[in-house]
Chains A and B, each alone.
Chain A
Amino acid sequence: MDGCRSGVPTYEGDLHVVAAAHHIVKALGATKNLSDDLRKILIDLDSHLSMITSNIDSKGGRGLVDVEERLDQAERKIMRWETDPMMIWDSGPKEASDYLEAVDETGKLVDGLRGLSVHENRKQKEILHRAMNIFQTAMSRLEEELIHILVRHGQQFEPKNMYSRSIRKDIVYDESFVSVEDEPTKETSSQNCSNDESGECIVDLVHADVIPDIKSIAKVMFTSNYGPEFCEAFISVQKEALEQYFSFLGTEYLSIEDVLKMEWTCLSSKMNKWTWSMKIIVRVYLASEKQLCDQVLGGLGSVSSYCFLEISKATILCLLNFGEAVAMGPHRPEKLLRLLDMYETLADLLRDIDTLFSEEAGSFIQLQFHELLERLGESAIAAFKAFRVAISSNGSLYPFAGGGVHPLNKYVMNYIRMFPEYWNTLNLLLKNQHPGVADQVTKPDYGPDTSLLTSCPMAYHLRSITSCLESNLHKKSQLYKDEALQHIFLMNNIHYLVQKVKGSELRLFFGDEWIRKHNAMFQQHAMNYERATWSSVVSFLKDNNPGSSSMSKSTFKERCKGFSIAFEEVYKTQTSWSIPDPQLREDLRISTSLKVVLAYRTFLGRNLAYTDDKCVKHTVEHVENSLLDLFGGSSRSLRNSRRW
């Protein structure tokens, strides 16, 4: 380098040497795969050489005059914009490239003059200061232009089209079970959100047309050592754009205290929103931001990932904090599905996060994600346990009127019907929970035809939840004084349980054996009901002496009366009982009818001699029709209304 500076060469030969060197430098500079350092060196060299050339051209002393002229020219181009209200890049590509050219020229002159200024030449120093002053004006201007371009061409995208909002059906757990309704089975529209999300979804956060402009500004600012200014401006605008998008999504900053105090319905919708926003922010927004950073700052070493981290860190931490707050909150059973949603979302995003924040500085963010995932898993398990506890501890003081399907049963079954959607996650979480237990319990029961699903940890836990439910229902059935009603209640409820299992994916986890067993169970209760109610009624119609042809009239009268009273009594009580399932009601009526009507007809037929007597209060048809009124849910009476 000293050789170049050691005086302004005057020989023709030198001119050639310098020209040749210049040529080589230019050619080298055009090579693509250059390291940043090397490129910088070449640029420096290039400006030195131009300086020398200009000096040689002007035969020594006049060199500075030429430099000054070149500076004047560049200055005019740069300074004219200082009074112009228009932005340069808005004015057209020609203006922009002219400006960049002038900046480039000034930069070269600055570098060249700096190289020469060892000589304490007053004039030279003056020109250098002037050049640097102009250069600072240009750099400051470029920063403004950069901010302007980013703001003006920044694009917001509609999140609506990204992911369907309500991913899964909302179920609200109500401790009082008042609002729990037996909703018709609505299959959820999008079962598995990971299918449509597996494809990377990248949008242009800044219009693609201006990316080359931003790149050209980045290039000139970085080569001129103004990289920090570029980064700060870039980070500021992009960070704010992300914050705006964040509030555009309707996500607000909540303190942990607020989250912990929040009502369940509100929290539930916030949890839903979090799941949704998290996906969009990470998979769409941040992926796009990362791409933008790489497009603009790629090739500048770690600058791109530094900027990306600075832009995204605060928002990410904010999202994570909501997750932490939710995981910290009381582990109520109703939270389970929402927690599983959050867990699955996060687990699903981990790979994206690990890629986005792969650099060392980003490992902090990575770690936070992994920690939150673990916390959400723990919290989900705690909510799962709380669910079981809530089922077994749900107590009642009074019997459930009519013996129909208990709201607890409805609630639990509708709730666990959602579990199969989460079975991978639940299996994962539950497996860690009870190692070994699941293996022990499931296998012997389900013999050789055990499918994979019926022996997974979730299946075990599902069955244990329903057996919890069953024993609670048994407890509830004890509240009825009437043994027959106990059986109706259990029949109804177990039937409901089986129907729910059969009618959903739950059947895969419960298995045919379970279904068979429970079918048999409610049928047993139906039989027990018949025995408890009708055995005593029908016993009036039994022939005590099968050998003799007929009974005495007085016995007949007595039997008839006994039957009528008993039948009326049953009618009165059991019309108020309820069997909500029409098929089940029908089946029970038929089987009752078979038993009672047949016995009555036989009884009357055998004693035809007395049947015209007034003592036969009810005809066979009447009994048969009356049986149809049972289990309708509203009490009726036969005693005062002779319908024929």
Chain B
Amino acid sequence: MPATDYQASFLGRISIRRNQVIAMDGNHEQELQDLELFSKHVSERFAELLSSPDDVPFDALLSISWLRKLLDFFLCCEAEFKGILMMGNDPSQISKPPLDRLIPEFLDRSVKALDVCNAVTNGLESVRHYQKLAEIVVSALEQKPIGDGQSRRAKKALTSLISAMNVDDKECSAAKATERSWSFSRRGVSSKDRVPEHFRSVSNHVAKNWSAAKQIQAMTNNLVPPRGAEGSGLASPVYTMSVIMVFVMWALVAAIPCQERNGLSAIHFPAPKQLNWAQSIIGLHEKIGEEWKKKEKKGTAGLLDEMQKMEKLGNILMDFTDSFQFHGDITDQKAEEAAAHAAELAEPCRRMEEGLLPLQMQIREVFHRIVKTRTELLNALDQVGKSSPPLL
């Protein structure tokens, strides 16, 4: 959904209501309406994400296009949130309780989200590498007739692909610390196509000991739904936006290779079900969490739909190349099956080719947006409370 869409409807509704309402406290009334609209939009957007059909591969949960939609919605919600917070009639509100506590906490969360964005951007480099390996598999197996040569070529790329995807999070941070050797141990060679060790696993452009899971866990610190009277004020959009931010970062980390993700599924979102807008987020959280639990034990590069397809087809094709090597030849039927699988593998490759760079750019956009809002909020706090001690 393009940003202009919601803006038009957002503003439209405001003007209509303005004409209708003759309230005693116009400002407060207006604010309540804005808040209501905000949570309505949040709820609508995430409901759309939740209802993504699994059978339509293009829009499947955690596919590249789904993630892009998620980020789009994040940007929309963020813009709306900022509007409510900063363009209110009384800017000094943000320096009064409870916001004087909630805003710094929110900013702290924002900074943590930035590091997640960077880790994920870095993880996309690995995904890019998987794509290239899968493309080699496709191009080896689409040749006809399939012979031992192509089968071996495919197998070599598949071995790299599958081992790269199975590198568990811890290993990839440890591998970096020691100097990798490119040796192929040429003596006593048994396999014909040696795959170098640690062939470009997740390269670690993230701080040592940084953990994605812990980072997200830390983002949920102090994140509690506003209670009592706070629930009707600005505390509630701060809370809503926080939950959205944590969820989006959590989903990105689940989907894309990242450093240290142990315990990701255990992260609990303190979003009560009775809040309308939260229901779809909770639904998504449960759905993705289940998926993650299934994969976590085995060790996975991530839940990105395209990557999972790659993994599945990769394993099938690996079996095929194994049996090819074992039997020396293959029946026509098997060869056709393999060709069909290879063609199927070409599909996620194509979507990665089209989507990865835009996704990376969008994550960067999210990054810049978070930075910008943070700066604006800090400036606003600075303006309002010149006398209070400066905030980081």
Residues of chain A having any CB pair with chain B under 8 Å: 82-83, 85, 87, 125, 128-129, 131-137, 139-140, 144, 147-148, 151, 225, 228-229, 231-232, 235-237, 239-240, 243-244, 252-258, 260, 310, 313-315, 317-318, 321, 324, 328-330, 361, 364, 368, 371, 375
B338-365 interface bits toward A, Cβ cutoff 8 Å, 1 = contact, 0 = none: 0000000000000000000100110010
Q: Which of B139, B148, B200, B207 is the one whose CB lies under 8 Å from A253?
A: B207
Q: State whether A136 and B118 are in contact (beta carbons under 8 Å apart), knowing that A232-B129, A364-B361 are contacts in the complex.
A: no
Q: Which of A131, A314, A330 is the one whose CB lies under 8 Å from B203?
A: A314
Q: Note all chain B residues with C-beta closer than 8 A to A244.
A: 179
Q: State whether A136 and B152 are in contact (beta carbons under 8 Å apart), knowing that A237-B182, A314-B205 are contacts in the complex.
A: yes
Q: Note all chain A residues with C-beta closer than 8 A to B281.
A: none
Q: State whether A257 and B112 are in contact (beta carbons under 8 Å apart), knowing that A82-B192, A136-B152 are contacts in the complex.
A: yes
Q: State whether A133 and B111 are in contact (beta carbons under 8 Å apart), knowing that A228-B136, A229-B136, A328-B374 are contacts in the complex.
A: no
A135–B194 CB distance below 8 A: no
Say which one of B120-128, B220-228, B231-239 lies at the interface with A: B120-128
Closest to B196 in A: A147
B78 contacts the other chain (CB 8 A): no
A253–B192 CB distance below 8 A: no
Q: Note all chain B residues with C-beta closer than 8 A to A258.
A: 207
A133–B147 CB distance below 8 A: yes
Q: Which of B149, B184, B360 has the most CB of A within 10 A?
A: B149
CA distance A260 to B114 in the complex (A): 12
Q: Note all chain A residues with C-beta closer than 8 A to B125.
A: 310, 313-314
B286 contacts the other chain (CB 8 A): no
Closest to B149 in A: A132
A318–B205 CB distance below 8 A: yes
Which 7 A-B pairs give the minimum distances between C-beta atoms? A132-B149, A129-B147, A136-B149, A236-B200, A140-B193, A255-B207, A133-B149
Q: State whether A136 and B122 are in contact (beta carbons under 8 Å apart), knowing that A82-B189, A228-B132 are contacts in the complex.
A: no
Q: Note all chain B residues with C-beta closer than 8 A to A254.
A: 207
Q: Note all chain A residues with C-beta closer than 8 A to B118.
A: 255-256, 317, 321
Q: Note all chain B residues with C-beta closer than 8 A to A87.
A: 186
B164 to chain A, nearest CB (A): 11
Q: Which of B136, B205, B391 has the most CB of A within 10 A?
A: B205
CA distance A87 to B361 in the complex (A): 42
Q: List 6 A-B contacts (CB under 8 A).
A: A129-B149, A140-B156, A151-B182, A228-B132, A255-B207, A328-B375
CA distance A314 to B196 in the complex (A): 22
B153 contacts the other chain (CB 8 A): yes
CA distance A236 to B361 in the complex (A): 23
A31 to chain B, nearest CB (A): 29
A228–B147 CB distance below 8 A: no
B208 to chain A, nearest CB (A): 7
B80 to chain A, nearest CB (A): 23
Q: Note all chain B residues with C-beta closer than 8 A to A82.
A: 189, 192
B360-392 interface bits toward A, Cβ cutoff 8 Å, 1 = contact, 0 = none: 110010011001001100000000000000111
CA distance A293 to B295 in the complex (A): 39
B6 contacts the other chain (CB 8 A): no
Closest to B193 in A: A140
Closest to A150 in B: B182
Chain B, 108-152, CB within 8 A of any chain A CB: 111-112, 114-115, 118, 121-122, 125, 128-129, 132-133, 135-136, 139, 145, 147-150, 152
B203–A361 CB distance below 8 A: no
A237 to chain B, nearest CB (A): 7
Q: Which of A232, A260, A324, A371 is the one whose CB lies under 8 Å from B392?
A: A260
B139–A255 CB distance below 8 A: no
Q: Note all chain A residues with C-beta closer than 8 A to B194.
A: 140, 144
CA distance A313 to B180 in the complex (A): 20
A136–B205 CB distance below 8 A: no
Q: State whether A364 and B180 are in contact (beta carbons under 8 Å apart), knowing that A136-B150, A257-B111, A317-B118 are contacts in the complex.
A: no
A306 to chain B, nearest CB (A): 10
Q: Note all chain B residues with C-beta closer than 8 A to A148.
A: 182
Q: Note all chain B residues with C-beta closer than 8 A to A315.
A: 205
A93 to chain B, nearest CB (A): 20
CA distance A133 to B115 in the complex (A): 47
B268 contacts the other chain (CB 8 A): no
Q: Note all chain A residues with C-beta closer than 8 A to B111.
A: 256-257, 260, 328
B132–A368 CB distance below 8 A: no
Q: Note all chain A residues with C-beta closer than 8 A to B114.
A: 256, 324
B157-185 interface bits toward A, Cβ cutoff 8 Å, 1 = contact, 0 = none: 10000000000000000000001101010
B350 to chain A, nearest CB (A): 15
B371–A253 CB distance below 8 A: no
CA distance A634 to B90 in the complex (A): 58
CA distance A252 to B206 in the complex (A): 9
Closest to A131 in B: B149
B341 to chain A, nearest CB (A): 19
B195-224 interface bits toward A, Cβ cutoff 8 Å, 1 = contact, 0 = none: 010011001111110100000000000000
CA distance A240 to B186 in the complex (A): 22
Q: Note all chain A residues with C-beta closer than 8 A to B152.
A: 133, 136-137, 140
